[in-house]
Amino acid sequence: MNIKYSIDYTWKDDEYETPGISKDLQKILKKINNLDKLSYLDVGCGNGSITKKISFFFKKATGIDLSQAGIEQAKKENKENINFLHTSLEEIIEQKNKFDFVSAIEVIEHQYDPFLFIEQLSKVTEDNGYVIISTPYHGYLKNLLISLLGKMDRHFTALWKHGHIKFFSVKTLKDLILGSKTIYGKNIYKPNFEIVKIYFSGRFFPLSHSMIFLLRKKSPTL
């Protein structure tokens, strides 16, 4: 395997994470029964800080990232015995590995093809399994306030290496996940997720840092 991806993951956990998101994820997971019997995959785990804070809910946990530096840092002080792997989502699919619970925390906004990314998440999730997707929240009132305060350039900066290239509202992320016909006037793919609940993290709505979608993969119809 020859995966090259350069990003500095030497940040401290509180600098790497979206403020408060680990605690909010823990609150969500506490409401789901029998997680201690499930396998867990964290896609785009970075330096492993969030993975480590929620892995104890699950029977076994795996974190993957394209950054070798990130995985090396994640493996340090890995008291939770998480299986951190320097690999891609594509390789997990090729190996035909599936998990009961999959997360992509602040990852989808970095994807050139978010449609493909949703399909890939489905392929590594067991039928009736759960998926959590979080991404920065971009609502009308929040973006208007950012503009009025003169912080738009900083918020949507093009100068951040490996920065955000997709900016989702609740509606656009819903349309993506459900394969809405409002996208280009036709279905892009056949959706097989249902949205269980939408949460907001950081600050207070409608100025939240992030939105968290809890999904469940549908069983195939006969």
Provide the number of structural domains found in the chain: 1
The CATH number of residue 83's host domain is 3.40.50.150
Highest mean pLDDT among 11-25, 150-164, 203-217: 203-217
Q: Is residue 126 part of a domain?
A: yes
Q: Is residue 210 part of a domain?
A: yes
Residue 25 confidence (pLDDT)? 96
The yes-or-no verdict on residue 209 having pLDDT over 80 is yes
Cα gap 125→56, rounded to integer Å = 19
Residue 66: count of CB within 10 angstroms of its CB: 18
* H or E segment to which residue 194 belongs: strand 193-201
Q: Is residue 87 part of a domain?
A: yes
Highest mean pLDDT among 75-79, 135-139, 143-147, 151-155: 135-139
More confident residue, 183 or 215: 215
Q: Is residue 145 part of a domain?
A: yes
Q: What is the mean pLDDT of residues 169-192?
A: 75
Residue 139 confidence (pLDDT)? 82
- The span from the first CA to the last CA of the chain, in angstroms, equals 38
Q: Which domain holds residue 58?
A: 38-217
Residue 159 confidence (pLDDT)? 67
Q: Is residue 160 part of a domain?
A: yes
Residue 210 confidence (pLDDT)? 93
Name the pairing type of β-strands 99-105 and 83-86.
unpaired
Residue 13 confidence (pLDDT)? 56
Q: Is residue 152 part of a domain?
A: yes
- Residue 98: which residues within 8 A CB-CB, separation 6 or more? 123, 124, 125, 126, 129
Judge if the upstream peptide bond of residue 114 is cis by omega within 30 degrees of 0. no
Q: Is residue 188 part of a domain?
A: yes
Burial status of residue 199 (CB atoms within 10 A of its CB: 0-12, 13-18, 19 or more):
middle
Report residue 209 as tokens: 């840092």
Q: Is residue 149 part of a domain?
A: yes
Query: Are the C-beta atoms of residues 62 and 83 closer than 8 Å to each other?
Result: yes
Average pLDDT across the chain, whole number = 85
Query: Are the C-beta atoms of residues 122 and 206 closer than 8 Å to each other?
Result: no
Q: What is the DSSP string of 46-66?
A: TTSHHHHHHGGGSSEEEEEES
Q: What is the mean pLDDT of residues 142-154?
A: 74
* Residues 92-117 pLDDT 10s: 999 999 999 999 999 999 898 898 99
Residue 9 confidence (pLDDT)? 57
Q: Give the three-class secondary structure for 93.
A: helix
The yes-or-no verdict on residue 203 having pLDDT over 80 is no
Residue 205 confidence (pLDDT)? 80
